[in-house]
Amino acid sequence: MATAVPVEQKWWSGGRSPFNVEYGKLMMWYFLMSDAFTFGAFLISYGTIRFSSNGWPDANHVFSSFPVLGSGYPLLFVSLMTFILIMSSVTMVLAVAAGHANDRAGVMKWMVWTIIGGLAFLSCQAWEWTHLYHEGAWWGSNPFTNFDGSKASTNFTNFFFTITGFHGFHVFSGVIINIVMLIMTYNGVFDRRGHYNMIEKAGLYWHFVDLVWVFVFTCFYLF
């Protein structure tokens, strides 16, 4: 649990770090907060449009395909994607833990696994997008009908591709950041610096990407 700050200490008169975190990490937190508002705005606009529509497509029908197996497996593929992303979050936090112990080999091992997880997620997303595209879904085109069988507007596909695309772009940036971190670790930059705080900041970003997926998953695949 967080500990309360003793009253007597002069925290804000300089020479101290009132939040007991370094500048870069604090700014990463504030960046992530602003990014949360960006994603929040996307998802809320999606919700507003959905609430203003008389009908909406059924996720269990739209997302029911799996590579090789074919269709008829509602939500199975997206569960795989979710599992991959949660798993890569675990390997990331293990990398951060190894960084705290100044264990260079451990950091490298877990960073490699995290990068693999990120690439696996992106591949899954590429497959899903391709599959939906071949079913006729794209920005401005929606082949799926509503729950009740009536004709759906293109709002569903527009929001789906925009929001999962924006999230996928975050995953992509995260993978690039993680690769940079891996190279820096390999070159011993953090050993010379004496700490692995950069891994922790990259980790915050990576977990945020996982966090956003949790909400995207609920909004698009479950509701």
Angle between helices 197-216 and 155-186 (to 10 degrees): 160
Which helix (H) or strand (E) segment holds residue 144: the answer is none
- The answer to whether 33 touches 212, Cβ cutoff 8 Å, is no
Residue from 38, 45, 102, 123 that binds other proteins (CB under 8 A)?
45
Which positions from 106 to 135 touch other proteins by CB under 8 A, shown as an x/- string?
Answer: ---------------------------xxx
Burial of residue 111 (CB within 10 Å: 0-12, 13-18, 19+) is buried
Of 10, 52, 105, 192, the residue at the interface with other proteins (CB under 8 A) is: 52
At residue 139, the 3 state secondary structure works out as coil
Residues 160-189 binding other proteins (CB under 8 A) are none
Does residue 144 interact with other proteins by CB under 8 A?
A: yes
Q: Six-digit token pair at 47?
A: 């919700």
Q: Least distance (Å) from other proteins to the CB of residue 42?
A: 12
Any idea which residue has 């915050």 for tokens?
A: 204
Q: Which helix (H) or strand (E) holds 197?
A: helix 197-216
Q: Find the shortest distance in angstroms from Cβ 201 to other proteins.
A: 11
Q: How far is the CB of 131 from other proteins (least distance, A)?
A: 10
User: Least CB distance from residue 67 to other proteins, whole Å?
Assistant: 15
Figure out which of the listed residues 38, 53, 130, 173 binds other proteins, where binding follows CB under 8 A. 53
